[in-house]
A and B are shown apart, each in its own frame.
Chain A
Amino acid sequence: KNEVEQSPQNLTAQEGEFITINCSYSVGISALHWLQQHPGGGIVSLFMLSSGKKKHGRLIATINIQEKHSSLHITASHPRDSAVYICAARSNTGNQFYFGTGTSLTVIP
């Protein structure tokens, strides 16, 4: 069973498009993380949120605790945004993380 589900699995967009990646989780969480994994494999943390909304540059992350759902939005997408975006939920019963399978984003110039 997957505690964290992401959609879509793959996404291709034209440069400049607005992008949304969705994450649903079935476990109780203390925080939800959005991560970016580059083609070389390195992982960068984009956001950690437990409620509401956070914004950093062209990236926006939202979470709805009642619906157990989070979204990552990218405004004015750019080819350098091409990466795998991963949703990870930190359990509220301990210090364990559950990962989604990732969304592979390709932004075409």
Chain B
Amino acid sequence: EPEVTQTPSHQVTQMGQEVILRCVPISNHLYFYWYRQILGQKVEFLVSFYNNEISEKSEIFDDQFSVERPDGSNFTLKIRSTKLEDSAMYFCASTDRAAQNFGAGSRLTVL
């Protein structure tokens, strides 16, 4: 069964460094999402992406965040200058307008 894959599974970085989280959505899906879950808290919506552009973003998704689909398969989330509070699990999901398929998540630890 096709699945959404995310890399890396865990990344440790120093505060102020740039981080890129990668996602490979299911190939025939058109809608892509990034979510964040801070440890012990609820899942939060960051951004949705359709037709090679952002369709909606939350208040969390400020100027330090960006998303790209650089090569038609990968879907990346970039955090330009990480802060301690960016430490969280980041989930990617894709859908063809039915139920969402989630990746296993990338755990980001900012020191």
A contact set with B: CB distance below 8 Å = 33, 35, 37, 41-45, 47-48, 86, 88, 91, 94-102
The 9 closest A-B pairs by CB, nearest first: A45-B99, A95-B48, A43-B102, A94-B56, A95-B55, A97-B45, A95-B56, A99-B43, A101-B42
Q: 24 pairs across A/B with beta carbons < 8 Å?
A: A35-B43, A35-B102, A37-B43, A41-B104, A42-B102, A42-B105, A43-B43, A43-B91, A43-B105, A47-B99, A48-B98, A48-B99, A86-B42, A86-B43, A91-B56, A94-B48, A95-B48, A95-B50, A95-B56, A96-B45, A96-B58, A97-B33, A97-B48, A101-B41
Instruction: Sort chain B's interface into a size bin.
Output: 20 to 34
A42–B58 alpha-carbon span in the complex (Å): 22
A-B interface contact total, Cβ < 8 Å: 58
Q: Which residues of the other chain, A, contact B101 by a CB distance below 8 angstroms?
A: 45
